[in-house]
Structure 1
Amino acid sequence: MDNPRLIGRGLAPFDLYPYNPSKTAGWVFVVIFGIGAAVHFVLMFPLRAWFFIPFILGCVGEAFGYYGRAWSHNNIRDGSPYLLQLMLILGSAPLLAATVYMTLGRFARSLQAEKYTIMSVRWVTKIYVLIDIASFGCQMAGSAMQASSDPTGIKLGQHIVIGGLIVQLIALGWFIFENTILHIRLTNGPTVITLKDPSIPWRSTLWMLRGVSVLIFIRSVYRLIEFTSGSDSALTKHEAFLYVFDASLLSLVAFLFVVIHPGRLFRKIRILTLHSLDEDGSMMLDERP
């Protein structure tokens, strides 16, 4: 996406958007992502889902990003809201993806399915999160560089954002593949945990993880095409594409994680494990510190 010179503060001598951003649409997604952040914050405590902190921060970032777009309505030369929405809408998706990545390792350990993962469970979360941090850093740094008055810096910033999106797509593609392999292997060889309690929702959790990964993948493909197709492309000139292929998809990710929260599966397995210890006489609940 080729941008003219941007101004970090104050008014630019040109229109920063090829349209007047919709105030209504911006506020709608401020509310949607705000509700998503609030609901996941509340769920985090009873489910002990501390690994959802990046996800909550991602929802907050998305909300403020769309606040920037609502602010840009009738202010299409104001650099402050433009940069706010550019950086936060781009940079929040990797925070959402980070929680998706962290869930898989916890899932495999909880179901005692470490042997079914392609990569070692000890490394799967670390590698994915490091890749995600690199993607986040590229997208945030690249977005910030587009505030430069130097055309060379702007162009470099675009290339950095594109690099971050490519890294994110590679990580998501491999994650979807690894998720699928784990699902197949668990189906063909159930673990002791899944046999002990068939009601454990491990299948729906894996389907949900694969589904949200595909949604984030589609969103990243859209942003990559947008940034590489230039300022004259339909994706750049029509705001509706942003709300269809970015805002709507990521809000659906937040909704799916509420409906099928992996924390519920982990809690069910913790309770099952404690009850099993009681039955075996190995450790009584009232003896636990």
Structure 2
Amino acid sequence: MASPMLEILPTLLKRANDTVNNTHTGDFDLCVDITPECPVEATIYGYYPNLGANAFFLALFAACLVAHTYLGLRYKTWTYLIALWFGCLGEALGYAGRIILHHNPWDGNGFDIQICCLIICPAFFAAGVYLTLKHIVIELGPSYSHLPARWYTWIFILCDILSLVLQGAGGGIAATADHGSNMIDVGNDLMMAGIVWQVITLIVFGSLCTSYALRLRSNKNNLPPKAYQLLHTTRFRAFLGGLALAYITIFTRCVFRIAEMANGWKNSIMQDETDFIILEGVMIVIATLCLTIFHPGLVFPEMQDHKLKGLSGVTEQEVKEVHQSSPEDGSPLGYGRK
């Protein structure tokens, strides 16, 4: 009697072990909270999002949202206001979603909010950077630019919209797909495509900016006096430095997101919160602060002067008029402002 029992004992133990393993590595569709059967390690991120870091990011983006509302209304930089307003709002909502996940990593609503908002919103900050180049070219000289000044806004904002559509569609599909569904991979691929397109757009934009800066530098002795004066004011240099830093941090964040999503959900990069905080959160915080502290209404009022003069669809002749006309104080378009 003992011998048959000993013979089947290993089989029974194996079946019991398989049952336990299946419980922890199987289907988690029914998980709604942390339990022994639904551990935090089985969630997509595999951790409880840090409450302090996410609360800090939420508060900072909310403060920048208020600041941009005031500055945009004060200086009437409407398009810049729209881009930065939606960017700050989306980031604040995204980190609110991560705070929800801190309390319950299985919360579907928290995951949906943060994945959609934090994926797409940096594109709005990139748009804020793109919007300024046309006005910089108008002030410093369109003859050194490879493209007519008015083209920059149209080309790069349209590219940014395409990036937003791809990332938004991908985030929406991934957020609403059933666990284990192929649609999750479809959503991931669309988000990847949107971010890759955003990186390509940023590279082209950076290349054009670099080329313009080099051509400007090589012809600095031939610049119109008013353009030369503007280029050497502290406020304008601070504006350019803020834009450059914002560009670098947005680009860094996008490269990180590509690496994070390249190996699908639950990969080691995606489950490293420190990398996320530094390369996503801190990078976009720096970009936002640059675009807020060095707001064009504060340090580049010429951008608003163009709108007041009706130069939204600027032509070469109108650019010449910008350098020839003078306001009532005798200082061409505020070039004397420090």
Task: Give TM-score scaled by structure 2 length.
Answer: 0.73
**Alpha-carbon offset, residue 70 of structure 1:** 0.4
Cα distance in 1 for partners of 2:31, 2:75 equals: 45
Opposite residue 263 of structure 1, the aligned amino acid is: G
Matched, 1:107 2:139: no
Secondary structure of residue in 2 paired with 1:138: helix
Q: Partner residue of 1:119?
A: 147
Matched, 1:153 2:183: yes
Cα distance in 1 for partners of 2:324, 2:301 equals: 11
Q: 1:277–1:233: structure 2 CA closer, same or farther, 3 Å change rule? A: same
**Alpha-carbon offset, residue 279 of structure 1:** 7.1
CA contact (8 A) 2:239 2:300 kept: no
Opposite residue 94 of structure 1, the aligned amino acid is: A
CA contact (8 A) 1:142 1:157 kept: yes
CA contact (8 A) 1:33 1:63 kept: yes
Residue in structure 1 matching 2:170, options 136, 139, 142: 142
Secondary structure of residue in 1 paired with 2:169: helix
**Alpha-carbon offset, residue 180 of structure 1:** 1.7
Residue in structure 2 matching 1:60, options 70, 89, 93: 89
Q: What is the CA deviation profile of residues 141-171 of structure 1, one whole-angstrom value per residue up to 9, with x for unaligned ones?
A: 1011112127221111111111101100011
CA contact (8 A) 2:141 2:227 kept: no
CA contact (8 A) 1:15 1:77 kept: yes
Opposite residue 248 of structure 1, the aligned amino acid is: V
Opposite residue 74 of structure 1, the aligned amino acid is: H
Matched, 1:213 2:263: no
Aligned length: 275
Aligned-residue Cα RMSD (Å) equals 2.8
Aligned sequence identity (%): 25
Q: What is the CA deviation profile of residues 27-57 of structure 1, one whole-angstrom value per residue up to 9, with x for unaligned ones?
A: 1110011111111211112322212211111
Structure 1: which 5+ residue stretches go unaligned?
281-289
Q: Partner residue of 2:32?
A: 11
**Alpha-carbon offset, residue 96 of structure 1:** 1.0
Structure number with the bigger relative contact order (C-alpha 8 A, sep ≥ 6) is 1
CA contact (8 A) 2:54 2:98 kept: yes
Q: Partner residue of 1:97?
A: 126
Q: 1:105–1:60: structure 2 CA closer, same or farther, 3 Å change rule? A: same
Q: More deviation in 83-92 or 24-33?
A: 24-33
Opposite residue 86 of structure 2, the aligned amino acid is: L
Opposite residue 115 of structure 2, the aligned amino acid is: L
Give 1 or 2 for the bigger CA radius of gyration. 2
Opposite residue 251 of structure 1, the aligned amino acid is: V
Cα distance in 2 for partners of 1:5, 1:39 equals: 46
Q: 1:236–1:17: structure 2 CA closer, same or farther, 3 Å change rule? A: same
Cα distance in 1 for partners of 2:108, 2:283 equals: 27
Q: What is the CA deviation profile of residues 190-234 of structure 1, one whole-angstrom value per residue up to 9, with x for unaligned ones?
A: 234323554374433333222211110000000000000344543
Matched, 1:186 2:216: yes
CA contact (8 A) 1:23 1:71 kept: no
Task: Give TM-score scaled by structure 1 length.
Answer: 0.85
Cα distance in 2 for partners of 1:232, 1:81 equals: 17
**Alpha-carbon offset, residue 177 of structure 1:** 1.5
Cα distance in 1 for partners of 2:105, 2:287 equals: 30
Q: Partner residue of 1:244?
A: 278
Q: What is the CA deviation profile of residues 125-147 of structure 1, one whole-angstrom value per residue up to 9, with x for unaligned ones?
A: 11101110111111111011112
Secondary structure of residue in 1 paired with 2:103: coil
Matched, 1:259 2:289: no
Cα distance in 2 for partners of 1:279, 1:155 equals: 61
Q: 1:70–1:232: structure 2 CA closer, same or farther, 3 Å change rule? A: closer
Q: Partner residue of 2:310?
A: none
Residue in structure 1 matching 2:192, options 151, 156, 162: 162
Q: What is the CA deviation profile of residues 8-37 of structure 1, one whole-angstrom value per residue up to 9, with x for unaligned ones?
A: x99387634311112222111100111111
CA contact (8 A) 2:188 2:264 kept: no
Cα distance in 1 for partners of 2:115, 2:246 equals: 23
Structure 2: which 5+ residue stretches go unaligned?
1-25, 307-321, 331-338
